[in-house]
């Protein structure tokens, strides 16, 4: 693949991005309204946040417990966290939760639900119909949640784009891979990243 091919792919990437932005709905998640009492942090509007996210409050509180590594308790509309935590820290974790369990990995719509298919939990999107196994984003595993130019990753081609290029959705990135078929599992080298889209080149193909 030469430079001009990359240029044209980049152009297409931008077209795809601008289209997906049109469909993008944004959830207005309220800022955590917190109060600190001694060593305890109380999120007074926890249930308002949960309502916007539209997930089981226990699931969200369990996620926060794991992420913060401390005990949390739901009490009426409030969440009690057994440590001093800032509103920004809570917002960051809520954002991570959204990325893992709420926002569609393909079209970014929050109009999704978690379904269990066989033994796998998948995030099913009502807006675009995409279904993907839940990918858990955590800050503690920061290196597992992004991709970098010049590095290789093994990805599965989940569809073929309008220009015949393969598409893989991986770690929140939409990866364009020329010269592959749907269903291929390939090792790719990331050539270029722009926003959440990347262009990659196949370096190895798994034999079926």
Cβ-based neighbours of 19, under 8 Å, separated by 6 or more = none
Residue 41 vs 174, nearer CB to Zn ion = 174
Residue 23 vs 120, nearer CB to Zn ion = 23
Per the DSSP assignment, residues forming a β-bridge with 45 are none
Contact characters 48-87, Zn ion, x per CB under 5 A: ----------------------------------------
Residue 34 vs 107, nearer CB to Zn ion = 107
Judged by CB under 5 A, the chain residues 81 through 120 that form the site for Zn ion are: 104, 106-107, 109
Stretch that binds Zn ion, among 11-19, 42-50, 95-103, 121-129 (CB under 5 A): 121-129
Judged by CB under 5 A, the chain residues 14 through 33 that form the site for Zn ion are: none
Q: How far is CA 101 from CA 39, 123, 174, in A?
A: 29, 7, 18
In the three-class reduction of DSSP (H, G, I as helix; E, B as strand; rest coil), residue 67 is classed as: helix
Binding residues for Zn ion, how many (CB under 5 A)?
8
Residue 122 vs 128, nearer CB to Zn ion = 128
Q: Does 175 bind Zn ion (CB under 5 A)?
A: no
- Other Cβ atoms closer than 10 A to 165: 20
Q: How far is the CB of 48 from Zn ion (least distance, A)?
A: 25
Q: How far is the CB of 104 from Zn ion (least distance, A)?
A: 3
- Which two three-digit tokens encode residue 188? 């790719």
Judged by CB under 5 A, the chain residues 125 through 154 that form the site for Zn ion are: 125, 127-128, 130
Return phi, psi of residue 93, to 5°. -70, -35
Residue 126 vs 151, nearer CB to Zn ion = 126
Q: How far is the CB of 55 from Zn ion (least distance, A)?
A: 17
Q: How far is the CB of 174 from Zn ion (least distance, A)?
A: 12
Residue 156 vs 201, nearer CB to Zn ion = 156
Match 């081609």 to its residue by tokens: 157
Are the C-beta atoms of residues 157 and 178 closer than 8 Å to each other? no
Q: How far is CA 71 from CA 40, 47, 89, in A?
A: 10, 18, 16
Strands 120-125 and 131-133, bridge-based pairing = antiparallel
Q: What are the respective helix, strand and coil percentages of the chain, to the nearest 5?
A: 30, 30, 40
Instruction: Give the E-state strand segments of 20-60 in sequence order.
Output: 34-37, 40-43
Tell me which residues touch Zn ion (CB under 5 A). Answer: 104, 106-107, 109, 125, 127-128, 130
């Amino acid at each position: 693949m030469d430079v001009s091919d990359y240029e044209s792919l980049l152009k297409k990437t931008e077209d795809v991005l601008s289209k997906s932005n049109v469909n993008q709905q944004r959830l207005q998640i309220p800022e955590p309204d917190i109060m600190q009492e001694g060593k305890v942090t109380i999120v007074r509007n926890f249930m308002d946040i949960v309502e916007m996210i539209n997930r089981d409050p226990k699931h969200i509180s369990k996620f926060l417990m794991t992420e913060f590594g401390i005990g949390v308790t739901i009490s009426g509309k409030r969440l009690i966290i057994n440590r001093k935590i800032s509103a920004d820290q809570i917002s960051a974790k809520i954002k991570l939760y959204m990325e893992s369990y709420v926002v569609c990995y393909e079209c970014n719509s929050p109009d999704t639900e978690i379904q269990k298919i066989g033994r796998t939990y998948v995030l099913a999107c009502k807006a675009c119909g995409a279904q993907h196994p839940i990918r858990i984003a955590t800050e503690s595993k920061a290196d597992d949640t992004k991709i970098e130019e010049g590095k290789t990753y093994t990805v599965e081609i989940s569809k073929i784009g309008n220009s015949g290029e393969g598409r893989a959705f991986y770690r929140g990135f939409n990866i364009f891979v020329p010269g592959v078929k749907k269903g291929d599992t390939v090792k790719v080298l990331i050539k270029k990243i722009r926003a959440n889209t990347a262009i990659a080149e196949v370096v190895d193909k798994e034999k079926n």
